[in-house]
């Protein structure tokens, strides 16, 4: 027998009304719009969302994780504006005609966030620190090939044994940081903002540096915050609701929806390309005809549409259209021809080719979404493609250990000085080469281009190298990969430099 | 009581030791070289080797374990591979957000579970039991991330009543801090409360059908007094166990919720640390989870004797 009971009506009413009342009060108090800017314009707060984690505040290596806040906290000796190198902490410099000796004079009156004066010894210490392999500084090996000497408190000289014209471009991505400070969590820089608070992988809050040396570039916003969102949907919701004013590097497939919602896409010439990386020691991939056939079988236009939502440009050129090396003739013969691919495979004796592509939906959703299309297209010519979708970490492991056959990836560093491309293991000749490419003609071509002092001849040598690499197809470029930021309606003054870093000076939120 | 405490203390230490070995060993079985992950895909072999040496990854695994466990005994939680700073500085700031989310959420979940469970167990009309049970089933079946995204879409994006995510301590900014807790609490309360309400309903139905409750009503006790004096405490014994397990599980980090709400708690920290193969941080977090379960189990056992004095701790041990 069940006992039938009833509750006092008064308790029922309180139970229903109380939570609703509390919610209404709390929502009225907070507004829900997040911590968006105050009065707008000057003295506003700008909040940027990104999904790349920020584990610490060491600005190396140069990746999407560091690009959003580096220019806010730090300055470099020089900056790159897409065409020329311009002074920053270095007031001027002298380079010998052979590009082996760089004499740098520092700007007067620059101080770090804690008031400490910038001097040549501090800069020399940073350059030496950059050459230590464990610090993983992009281009550290190149810097390390030179010798740094301090001439006076405001000048230093770097001498290289061979021509190193790419050195100034490297200086554009080596921030000057006070190494005696807590570089992991509270680094001392000279930039327009200084660290206010930092919680790893959560938020980096920066306050305006009112003693910034460059009065022409004094930030408008009183604070700039970078928030980490591990979930893209949450990041998009934060932009739509106004909790953040901009997003860094959202997935391409979100861009149309964001544009329709009234947000603005900010992009520039692509610094690099999406690619397929080929292990040239792996069975049929050792045959150049197989690699060339694979290049012919890639429907680049479809990839650009499907993978990048039309933001990328199809290309076969190693150097993307934004590079000074690029010429339109490189893409004149960039064909999608399955029958030609089939004929080439037959010639090579691989009419029923089977191969495996490693990819990572998390790391490269663009390429991972295109591969099933490629799989179906290759089936029509008798080629079997197996897609191995693995974690980003495992993929890095397999590539670095050579345990892959073909892998998806993308590469940057190709729209500034052409020598910078060869910093990456994807292109470095010799034992570092991730494709295990050992053609004896490769290394001498790279060395000759890097050692050439005459700018016109140098550019010609890099163009020849581009054509050589396109022919060899050890890495198959597919389409350009532009950096993309998205700003909400209240964001003003948002700009990025040609290397993809945010220029924090004019940021503000209305 | 002393014997109980001593026995449980020894059991806990043994559990922790075994857990430390298992945690340490299992982590090293995860595919992926942490030195490569830390150094990046474009790192030179010299950088990768230097990274291995820097973090002691080049040493024998037994030496690595001994170094870690002996440091732990001295209160040193180790150095994070990813932040390069002390692990304690990563975990410390993550505890408060998780505690805020979980404590509040579980308290509300208990209220929801009791309301739905008791409401379904003591129906005035047959339809009430069916309706509440169906509602609880929907909550139980709905994925928690779906509930969370729905809540964000409706209340944060469309209505803009609450923030999309992020945590601010209510001690620093009471208005924004509390408003940022509303959606996570509501989702936890509904999801966990809906799931637990089934246990509450079953426990209350069993007690309501017992002879002593019928006798109490026959002797003139009011409905409310009958529940309060005769049903509640008896029904709560099995329910407390379930609540305890749910609480301990969530304290380990409501990972999905923390990801969706961009909550800087222990769950998010665990995900980030696993992804970056930050062994020291993952090891300490896993040990914290083990300690949490051990403590919650212990407190649950203690609570039995408080709820029902007939239960003796020596029997429970």
pLDDT on residue A1: 44
Q: What is the pLDDT of residue B255?
A: 83
> What does the pLDDT read at residue A321?
87
**B36 vs A132, A199, A397: nearest CB:** A397
Those residues whose C-beta lies under 8 Å from the C-beta of residue A374, and which sit 6 or more positions away, are A297, A298, A299, A385
Chain B residues inside the 8 Å CB shell of A177 = none
CA dihedral (B162, B168, B169, B175) positive or negative: negative
Residue among B83, B115, B157 whose CB faces A55 most closely: B83
A17 Cβ neighbours under 8 A, 6+ residues apart: none
Return the pLDDT at B65. Answer: 93
Torsion angle of the four alpha carbons B248, B253, B254, B258, in this order, in degrees rounded to the nearest 10: 160
With cut-offs at 50, 70 and 90, classify the pLDDT of residue A11. Answer: low
CB contact under 8 A, A55 and B264: no
- Please give the pLDDT value at position A361: 87
Residue A57 · residue A202 · CB < 8 Å: no
Contacts of B152 in chain A (CB under 8 A): 234, 237
Angle between helices A455-472 and A288-296 (to 10 degrees): 90
Measured distance CA(A487)–CA(A509) in Å, rounded: 10
Our CA-based measurement puts residue B159 at a distance from the nearest CA of chain A, in whole angstroms, of 9
Q: Kindly determine whether residue A138 and residue B42, on different chains, have CB atoms separated by under 8 Å.
A: yes
Gap between the Cα atoms of A478 and A214, Å rounded: 41
Q: Do A200 and B90 touch (CB under 8 A)?
A: yes
Q: Is A262 on the interface with B (CB under 8 A)?
A: no
Instruction: Output the pLDDT for position A19.
Output: 52
Q: Which of A282-296, A363-377, B229-243 has the lowest mean pLDDT?
A: B229-243
Residues forming beta bridges with residue A359, ordered by sequence position: A389
pLDDT(A26) > 60: no
Lowest mean pLDDT segment, chosen from A37-41, A66-70, B47-51: A37-41
Tens digit of each residue's pLDDT (9 = 90 or more) over B256-315: 889 889 899 998 899 889 888 899 999 999 988 888 888 888 877 777 767 666 665 554
Query: Which run of H or E residues covers position A230?
Result: none
Q: How far apart are CA A244 and CA B164, in angstroms?
A: 10
Dist. CA A224–CA A214, nearest whole Å:
18
Q: Which residue in chain A is spatially nearest to B97 when comparing CA positions? A: A202
Closest chain B residue to A34, measured at CA? B163
| Mean local confidence (pLDDT), B90-111 | 90
Higher pLDDT, B44 or A204: A204
pTM confidence score: 0.83
Q: Which of residues 183-222 of A touch B (CB under 8 A)?
A: 184-185, 199-203
Number of H helices and E strands in chain B, helices first, is: 15, 0
pLDDT at B312: 59
Residue B12 pLDDT greater than 90, yes or no: no
Phi/psi for B94 (5° steps) reads -85, -15
- Given a contact cutoff of 8 angstroms between Cβ atoms, the answer to whether B199 and B238 are in contact is yes
Alpha helices in A162-270 (DSSP H): 167-171, 232-241, 255-260
Q: Do B36 and A400 touch (CB under 8 A)?
A: yes
Residue B31 — very low, low, confident or very high, per pLDDT cuts 50/70/90? confident
Query: What's residue A41's pLDDT?
Result: 55
Please, what is the Cα angle at A441 between A438 and A442, to 5 degrees? 60
Distance between CA atoms of B79 and B98, rounded to whole angstroms?
A: 22
For residue range B147-169, list pLDDT tens digits in order.
899 999 999 988 989 998 889 88
Spatial separation of the C-alpha atoms in residues A21 and B256, rounded to whole Å: 28
Q: Average pLDDT, stretch B52-76? A: 90
pLDDT score of A9 more than 60: no
Quick one: pLDDT at residue A56?
92
Predicted confidence band of residue B46 (pLDDT cuts 50, 70, 90): confident
Taking all residues of chain A, what is their mean pLDDT, rounded to a whole number? 88
Name residues 70-99 of chain A within 8 A of B (Cβ): none
| Helix %, strand %, coil % of chain A (to 5) | 35, 20, 45
Does A12 score more than 70 pLDDT? no
| Predicted local distance difference test score (pLDDT) of residue A132 | 86
Q: Which residue of A has its CA nearest to B275?
A: A393
Q: What is the pLDDT confidence band of residue B124, given thresholds at 50, 70 and 90?
A: low
How many residues appear in chain B? 317
> B209 pLDDT band (50/70/90 cuts)?
confident
Residue scoring higher pLDDT (A273 or A82): A273
Report the pLDDT value the prediction gives residue A246, as an integer from 0 to 100: 96
Q: Given an 8 Å threshold on Cβ–Cβ distance, is A234 in contact with B264?
A: no
A133 at interface of B, judged by CB pairs closer than 8 A: yes
Angle at which helices A455-472 and A442-451 cross, to 10°? 160
Closest to B60 measured CA to CA, from B28, B26, B85: B28
Task: Tell me if B36 and A4 make a contact (CB, 8 A cut-off).
Answer: no
pLDDT at B235 over 70: yes
Q: What Å distances lie between residue A312 and A285, A373, A406, A451, A485, CA to CA?
A: 27, 17, 22, 33, 14
> Could B41 and A409 be called an inter-chain contact, meaning their C-beta atoms sit closer than 8 Å?
yes
| A230 or A188, which is more confident | A188
Residue A32, pLDDT score? 44
Q: Is residue B126 very low, low, confident or very high in pLDDT (cuts 50, 70, 90)? A: low
pLDDT digits (tens, 9 = 90+) for A297-324: 999 999 999 999 999 999 999 999 888 8
Contact A32 B93 (CB under 8 A): no
Residue A58 near chain B (CB below 8 Å):
yes
A27 in B contact zone (CB under 8 Å):
yes
Q: Are A404 and A398 in contact (CB under 8 A)?
A: yes
Give the count of Cβ contacts less than 8 A between chain A and B: 201
* Kind and range of the H or E run holding A183: none
Task: Inform me whether the pLDDT recorded for A2 exceeds 50.
Answer: no
Lowest model confidence (mean pLDDT) among A6-15, A64-73, B185-194:
A6-15
Q: Does A407 contact chain B (CB < 8 Å)?
A: no
- pLDDT value at A30 more than 50: no
Res B9: pLDDT? 78
Decide if pLDDT at A33 tops 50.
no
What average pLDDT does range A333-349 have in this prediction? 94
**What is the rounded CA–CA span in Å between residue A58 and residue A72?**
13
Digit-coded pLDDT (tens) for A75-134: 999 998 777 899 999 999 999 998 999 999 999 999 999 999 999 999 999 999 998 887
- For A386, list phi and psi in degrees, rounded to 5: -105, 130
What was the pLDDT predicted at B228?
75
The arithmetic mean of pLDDT across residues A201-228, rounded, is 94
Whether the upstream peptide bond of residue A61 has omega within 30° of 0, thus cis, is yes
Which helix (H) or strand (E) segment holds residue A147: the answer is: strand A147-152
């Amino acid at each position: 027998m069940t006992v039938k009971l009833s509750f006092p009506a008064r308790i029922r009413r309180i139970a229903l009304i109380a939570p609703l009342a509390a919610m209404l009060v709390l929502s009225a108090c907070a507004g829900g719009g997040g911590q968006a800017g105050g009065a707008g314009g000057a003295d506003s707060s700008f909040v940027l969302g990104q999904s790349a984690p920020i584990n610490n505040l060491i600005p190396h290596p140069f990746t999407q994780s560091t690009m959003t806040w580096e220019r806010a906290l730090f300055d470099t000796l020089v900056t790159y504006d897409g065409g020329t190198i311009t002074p920053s902490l270095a007031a001027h410099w002298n380079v010998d005609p052979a590009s082996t000796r760089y004499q740098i004079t520092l700007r007067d009156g620059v101080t770090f966030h804690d008031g400490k004066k910038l001097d040549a010894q501090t800069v020399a210490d940073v350059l030496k620190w950059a050459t230590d392999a464990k610090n993983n500084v992009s281009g550290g090996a190149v810097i390390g090939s030179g010798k740094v000497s301090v001439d006076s408190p405001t000048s230093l000289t770097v001498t290289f044994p061979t021509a190193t014209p790419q050195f100034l471009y490297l200086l554009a991505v080596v921030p000057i940081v006070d190494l005696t400070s807590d570089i992991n969590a509270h680094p001392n820089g000279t930039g327009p903002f200084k660290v206010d608070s930092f919680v790893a992988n959560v938020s980096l809050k920066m306050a305006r540096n009112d003693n910034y040396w460059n009065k022409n570039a004094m930030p408008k916003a009183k604070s700039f915050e970078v928030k980490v969102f591990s979930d893209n949907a949450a990041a998009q919701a934060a932009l739509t609701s106004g909790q953040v004013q901009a997003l860094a590097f959202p997935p391409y497939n979100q861009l149309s929806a964001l544009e329709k919602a009234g947000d603005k896409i900010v992009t520039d010439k692509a610094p690099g390309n999406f690619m397929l990386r080929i292990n040239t020691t792996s069975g049929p991939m050792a045959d150049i005809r197989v690699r060339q056939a694979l290049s012919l079988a890639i429907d680049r236009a479809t990839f650009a549409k499907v993978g990048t939502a039309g933001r990328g440009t199809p290309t076969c050129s190693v150097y993307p259209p934004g590079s000074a090396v690029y010429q339109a003739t490189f893409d004149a013969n960039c064909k999608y021809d399955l029958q030609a691919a089939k004929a080439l495979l037959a010639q090579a004796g691989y009419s029923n080719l089977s191969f495996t592509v490693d990819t990572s939906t998390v790391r490269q959703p663009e390429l991972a979404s295109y591969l099933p299309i490629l799989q179906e297209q290759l089936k029509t010519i008798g080629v079997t493609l197996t897609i191995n979708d693995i974690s980003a970490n495992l993929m890095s492991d397999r590539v670095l250990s050579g345990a892959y056959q073909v892998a998806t990836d993308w590469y940057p560093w190709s729209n500034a000085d052409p020598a910078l491309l060869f910093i990456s293991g994807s292109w470095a000749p010799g034992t570092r080469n991730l494709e295990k490419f050992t053609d004896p003609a490769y290394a001498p071509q790279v060395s000759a281009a890097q050692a050439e002092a005459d700018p016109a001849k140098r550019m010609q040598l890099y163009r020849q190298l581009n054509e050589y690499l396109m022919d060899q197809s050890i890495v198959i470029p597919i389409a350009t990969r532009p950096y993309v930021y998205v700003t909400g309606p209240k964001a003003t003054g948002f700009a990025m430099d040609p290397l993809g870093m945010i220029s924090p000076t004019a940021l503000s939120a209305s | 009581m002393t014997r109980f405490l001593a026995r449980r203390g020894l059991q806990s230490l043994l559990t922790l030791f075994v857990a430390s070995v298992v945690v340490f060993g299992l982590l090293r079985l995860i595919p992926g070289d942490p030195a490569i992950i830390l150094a990046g895909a474009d790192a030179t072999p010299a950088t990768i080797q230097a990274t291995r040496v820097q973090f002691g990854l080049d040493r024998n695994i037994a030496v690595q374990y001994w170094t870690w466990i002996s440091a732990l005994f001295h209160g040193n939680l180790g150095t994070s591979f990813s932040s390069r700073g002390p692990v304690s500085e990563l975990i410390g700031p993550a505890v408060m957000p998780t505690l805020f989310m979980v404590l509040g959420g579980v308290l509300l979940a208990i209220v929801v579970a009791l309301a739905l469970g008791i409401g379904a167990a003591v129906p005035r009309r047959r339809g009430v039991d069916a309706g509440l049970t169906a509602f609880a089933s929907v909550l139980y079946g709905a994925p928690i991330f779906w509930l969370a995204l729905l809540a964000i879409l409706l209340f944060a994006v469309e209505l803009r009543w609450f923030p999309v995510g992020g945590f601010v301590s209510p001690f620093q900014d009471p208005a924004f801090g509390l408003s940022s807790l509303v959606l996570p609490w509501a989702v936890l309360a509904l999801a966990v409360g809906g799931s637990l309400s089934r246990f509450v309903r079953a426990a209350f139905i069993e007690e309501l059908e017992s002879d002593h409750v019928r006798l109490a009503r026959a002797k003139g006790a009011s409905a409310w007094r009958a529940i309060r004096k005769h049903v509640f405490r008896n029904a709560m014994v099995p329910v407390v166990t379930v609540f305890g397990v749910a609480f301990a599980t969530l304290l380990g980090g409501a990972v999905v919720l923390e990801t969706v709400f961009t909550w800087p708690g222990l769950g998010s920290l665990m995900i980030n640390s696993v992804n970056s193969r930050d062994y020291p941080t993952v090891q300490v977090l896993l040990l914290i989870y083990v300690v949490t379960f051990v403590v919650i189990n212990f407190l649950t056992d203690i609570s039995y004797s408080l709820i029902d004095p007939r239960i003796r701790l020596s029997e429970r041990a």
